[in-house]
Structure formats: structure tokens, C-alpha cells
A and B are shown apart, each in its own frame.
Chain A
Amino acid sequence: MIPKPKEVRSLHERKAGIWPYLLVAPALLIVVAVVFIPVLNAILMSFQSYDLRRPSDIAFIGFNNYIAVFKDTLFWQSVLRTVIWVVFGVGFQFVFGFCLALLLNKNFKGRGLVRSVSLIPWVTPGVLIGLMWRWIYDGSYGVLNDLLMKMHIIEDPIPFLARQGTSFPAVIVTIIWQGIPFFAIMLLAGLQGVPHELYEAADIDGANVFSKFFHITVPCLRNTIYVTTLLRIIWVANSVDVIYNMTGGGPAYATQTLSVYVFNKANALNLGYSSTMSIMLTLILLMVAIPYLKTMFRNQEA
């Protein structure tokens, strides 16, 4: 089909024609067919006093929802909390996940078994994660308190989820736990594409473990790292079920991230207001994503 080239031309310089569109079409069709109307609908709702508890009062109100959101102190608190949630959550997931990926890439007995059991946090349904961790943190019967007391680190049990200072760190630990396998598996797969020759050459040069890691592993995985962290940021920023099942956003809104706030408002059926907040969340995420995308597209061009 494609005429044979007389000289070596890079794939990108070849004439694309209709092929790329054809290849993207099925994916695009499924996605657009399903979410196009709902998303459009949600955007429209953000300009209306769309509160299903008062269906007769629904009307277009311009930017009033946006103004109300900007004045809402709970909204800004949740934004701040979302930032902390994502930075610590994704940050530690990445670090631990990367470590695990490197370890699982080594040769040792029982590696297959270890690989499959490290998947467990990811396999566990969200409800169970929330409830189990709540149970571990429990201030009266929780195993964490018992362990800490047996090790004489604390004297009296701490009601981790009932206190302002400890509840948010506690839920962050849970999300870290849940996300480690994602990075481990994704990066482990990426590691398979790193050519062995590079390591061998570095060994001859006498490079140590760390310089090999930073000069070979990381650059070779650059795109994978970019993509996985970006996707994970989006996913964690949007995740509701862990927090919802552990604290419901409490106590006193101490664990209410923006997505939990949206969820609570949407459950209260003030859809106009929660749509507005969702759009804000999307915009914030885009703001994070744009520098990412710019570097990524630039790297590809190079």
C-alpha cells in the first residue's frame, strides 16, 4: 500500500493521509458517543440554578454559580486540601512504586508470587479499602494503636480519624497504599523496554547504581514517567471512595477534598453548584497538565 521509500525517512515525516484518523476513530467514537451529551449538559447546568430539590426554580443565572463558588471558603479549603492530597498521595505512590518496580525487576526466588501479591491493594474494592483502614485506625479496637502501644511509641490510643490533625494524614497513607501497585506495574512494564546494552556499557565504564539509575533508567522511562504521573494526578484528584468510606469528608471538613465536596453537593442534588465546582476542578487539573503536555510535546518533536 505505502510506496517504498528510496531513502530512509523517519516515520513522522512520512505522509500520514487518512490512516491516523481511521486508527483513532473507534476510540473517539465510543468516548464521544457516551460522554458528549452528559458533559455538555453538566456545563450548561453550571450556568443555571440547577438544584433538583427545587426543580421549579431552575433558570439561567449566568455566572452566579461561579461567583458563589469563588466566595465559598469551603471551596478554597478543599482546593488547598486537594493540592496536599495529590502532592503527598501521588508523590509517595510514585517513590514507593518505583522502588517496588526496580525490586521486582531483579531476579530472585519467588519473584512471580511477590509480583502478584503486590497487586493486592489495587485489587481490593474501594469500599473494603475504606472500611478496613478505618478499622485499622480505630481508636478503640484498632490494630495500629495496639501496635504503637506495644512498641511503647504512644501510651494512650489515638483516635486517628476523629482528630483534626491526624485524620487527613491518615487518609493520605491509605491512598498511598492503594496507588503503589499502579506505579509498580506500569514502571515495571516500562523497564522492559530499556535496552540491556546501555547498562552493560555503563558497567564497563564503572558507573555505580545511582548514576546508572539517573543516567539510564530515568531518561529511558521519561515518557512513561510523564504519562503515569499525569494520569495518576488526575485519578487521585478525582478519587472519592477512599475518603468517602473512611471519613465522609469529616471531622469538621478536615478531609474534604474538592472531589469529595463535589460528590457531597451532587448527592445533595445541587447539580448547578457541583457542576461549577467540577469545571473549576477540571480547569485546575488542566493548569497542572498544560506544562506537562508542553514539555511532553516538545520532547516528542525533538
Chain B
Amino acid sequence: MKKSKKLIVLAILSALCLLIVPGCKKGDDKSGTGGEGKTIEITHWYWADNSDYSAKMQEIAKTFNETNGKNIKVKAEEYPWDGGGYSETLFTAAMGGGGPDTAAWKLTSTPLFVANKLLAELDGFINNWADKDDIEENLWDVMKQAGGSDKIYVMPWNTQVLYVYYRPSMFKAAGVSVPKTYEEFLEACKKLTRDTDGDGKIDVYGFGMRGAKGGQEPWGSFIWARGGNFTDFTTPEAIQGMQDFIDLFKKGYTPPTAPTDGFNEIIANFKSGKTAMTIHHIGSSSGMVETFGDDVDAFVFPAGKGQWTSMGDTENVIFESCKNKEAAFEWVSYLATGKGQEEWCITTGNVPVSKRVQAMDFFQNNKFMKVSIEGAPYAGIFPILDTTTEWINTVWPNTVAAALTGQKTAAQAMEELQKGLYGDKK
């Protein structure tokens, strides 16, 4: 009888093993090499900001597959943006030995991936690439900076320059003209805050402030306008910029929800007429025009002592684990300067990185594109360090919310922001 029990144990154990083992035999079926067949498969990960973008990306991949003439087959797989969680998903997969061959990218994740040796170096490809000069020299510099060395790991794709959206009709009603200096801008925020129907309650706010994640981008313009910069947040100029930001909220020139307002809220507030100005890039312009027709326009964030606006970015990368990097480069360069660039930028309204595409009529005749290009000389990015992602995701929103709600002074908040980005070392 004891024997039979042992047999049962054995039977159960082996049954469980059988469940697991057959999987092992299949082994690693990661795509990347074409194998004995001639087609080369490239897996590409991307996120889509809305359903049109999603459809467009699939279309671009399809066209590329049909026209590349080298038997490269790109399989574009969509992953949720998830408030930036996209990069973590990508990282987890790559660290676990899986992940795609190429992927859509944000510069801020570059140090992390480079430090873990996950990205393929692109210099060799780029130096031999006919279209290299179609992309501005300074963009290549930005790509190098992000990697923290002279090497390029990131292929430019498109950029968005932040500017100020405003409602001409509200400006007219409040007797405000488009601000030319930073002081005028602050003044405009005040004047545009109005009780329009005389019920004693404010119903239009001057400025739609973004206090939640992502708000660091418009916020940066305030810091620079006072003469501050991002290498030291604790200078009196930078603190003054922070103080201006806090004052706008405290004095009630922004909606009271500002500390938690993210992209959704600032755009909704602007579209519903609750705010007269807000800061975002061209990506939201088509929606604005749909709502307001001609009653929406834009200007570059004006200069004070200094001038800066944020450059949003999207790039593409090739992973070190990709087995056919030539084919992968073919694909990412198609997105950077080829037909893929044209199609994507027309659909999304993003600023092309290819000079050839920039010169196309579509981009030259768009008033928001004009403002974007006008702002480009002042456009920059936050210092890209390995701490940047955490700083953007948690340090900035929480510290600024504490400053806005009066738990911290401007100077204390800036001290904390400095520490969050650069650590304790000065």
C-alpha cells in the first residue's frame, strides 16, 4: 500500500513536469533573424496617442514592408503609453532577454538603457547614411548628450515645440494684446482672469497651469524667463521664476484644480473656455481648431531675462539584441527621413526632423507649425541624467504641489528639486 502511495506522488510530480517541459523545447523563438527563409523579421514596439495614430503606424509598417525591396518585414506592435510606463515595460522585457528589435523612444530613458548595454550604437550606420545631413546637426548633438557620450544610440524621429495657445476673442474682451515680454505675459494672466457673467464668481482663468506630471515642461519657461537655468535650481533667479509660478496659482489666475491638472485637464479647460491661455504643443492643435475654428492662435513663450521652451521628442532605437541591425536601421531611417517621416508628421502634426519634409507645403502653411519653428531656437530639453525619469514622475509633481498649496516656500521647493535631480552633491 505504501508503494502505491509513492507511485501516486511520482505520477503527480511527473505530470507537473510534463506540463512545464514541452514549453522548454520550443526554446527561444525571438524573431530577428530570417532563419533559412529570406524574409527578415523586425519587431517594432510603439505607443499611439489616439486611434488615428495607431492606424497610421500600422499603415506605415505595411507600406514599408511592401516597398523596401529587401524582404524586410516589420511587425509593429502597440503597447500602452501608460503615463510613461511604456519605457518600463520596454526595459523589463529587454532586461529579461526579450523585447523588440526596434522601438519608439523617449530621450529621458536613454541613460538607463545605455548603462545596461541594451541599445545598439548607431554611429557606424549613420556615418555611412546618405540622409545624414537631412537632419539638423544640433539634433545629433542632443542625441549624443542623451547617451552621455560621443556615441549615438538614438535615431531622431520628430519633435514638438511647446508654445502658448490663446483665445483671440478673450484677449479682445479683456483688452489684452499678445504679450511680447515675460512681464506682459504675467500681466495678461491677471487681466484675462475675469468674471464674465457678473455672478461674483470667476469663470475665465488667465492661465491653464499644469501641476501634475508633465508640468515641468511649461514650468521650465518661467524659470528661464527670470534668468534661471537647470544646472542650478537654487539661484535667486530660478527661485523668482518658481515664485511667479506659485503666485499665479495663489492669486487665482489659474483654475483651483491646477496642482493635479494634467494634459487632459488643461486641454479640457481651454476647450471649454475656462482658461484663456495654456501651454502645449502642436499635437493638440487639430482638436483646438475643430472646437474654435479661427478663435485660437498661438505665440512663443515670451522672453524675460532669458527665454526657453521645452522641446518634446520622440525617437526610435535599435536594441543590441537585434540580430539584423542593417535591416533595423533601414526601418528606423525610413521613419526618420523617408516616406514614413512624411506620413507620420502629417497625421500627428509633429515637427519633422527631416529638412526635406519640413520644407513641404503642408508644414509651411500651418500657423501652429510656424510658431513651432519660430520657437525652435529657444527650445531645449531637461538635463538627461539617470535620475531624470524619477524626477519627472514623482519629485517634480509632488514638490510643486507642496509649493502651490503653501506647504513649502519657493526656495525650499527649489532646493528639493535640485537634490532630486543632482543628488546631494553640488
Contacts and interface: CB of A to CB of B under 8 A. Distances in A.
A25 to B, nearest CB: 6
Contact of B398 (A29, A55, A139, A252): A252
A268 B389 contact: yes
A159 B8 contact: no
A162 B12 contact: no
A141 B268 contact: yes
B5 A17 contact: yes
A140 B269 contact: yes
Nearest to A18: B5
A53 B387 contact: yes
A17 B269 CA distance: 70
Nearest to A253: B398
B65 to A, nearest CB: 32
B113 to A, nearest CB: 10
A17 B213 CA distance: 59
B360 interface: no
Contacts, number: 118
Contact of A247 (B260, B269, B389): B260
A229 interface: no
A194 to B, nearest CB: 36
B401 A252 contact: yes
B291 to A, nearest CB: 15
Main secondary structure of the interface of B (DSSP, over half): helix
Contact of A251 (B6, B112, B259): B259
Contacts of B387: 53
A248 B397 CA distance: 9
Interface residues of B, number: 48
Interface string A227-251: 0000000000000000000011111
Main secondary structure of the interface of A (DSSP, over half): loop
A132 interface: no
A32 B6 CA distance: 21
A52 B9 contact: no
Contacts of A19: 5
A264 B394 contact: yes
A139 B262 CA distance: 13
A56 B115 contact: yes
Contacts of B259: 159, 162, 250-252
Interface string B83-117: 10100100100010000000000000001100110
Interface string A77-90: 00000000000000
B413 to A, nearest CB: 10
B325 interface: no
A164 interface: yes
B393 A156 contact: no
A267 B397 CA distance: 16
Most buried by B among A56, A141, A251, A256: A251
A281 B21 CA distance: 35
A141 to B, nearest CB: 7
Given A18-B5, A139-B255, A164 B13 contact: no
Interface string B112-127: 1001100000000000
B20 A33 contact: yes
A3 B394 CA distance: 65
A227 B268 CA distance: 45
A266 B183 CA distance: 42
A252 B201 CA distance: 28
A264 B13 CA distance: 39
B9 A25 contact: yes
A252 B12 contact: no
Interface string A31-49: 0010000000000000000
B112 A164 contact: no
Most buried by B among A18, A141, A248: A248
B402 interface: yes
A251 B389 CA distance: 18
6 contacts: A21-B9, A54-B115, A162-B256, A162-B257, A267-B393, A268-B390
Which 9 interchain pairs have the tightest Cβ spacing? A251-B401, A268-B390, A252-B402, A139-B257, A53-B386, A159-B257, A252-B401, A162-B260, A251-B259
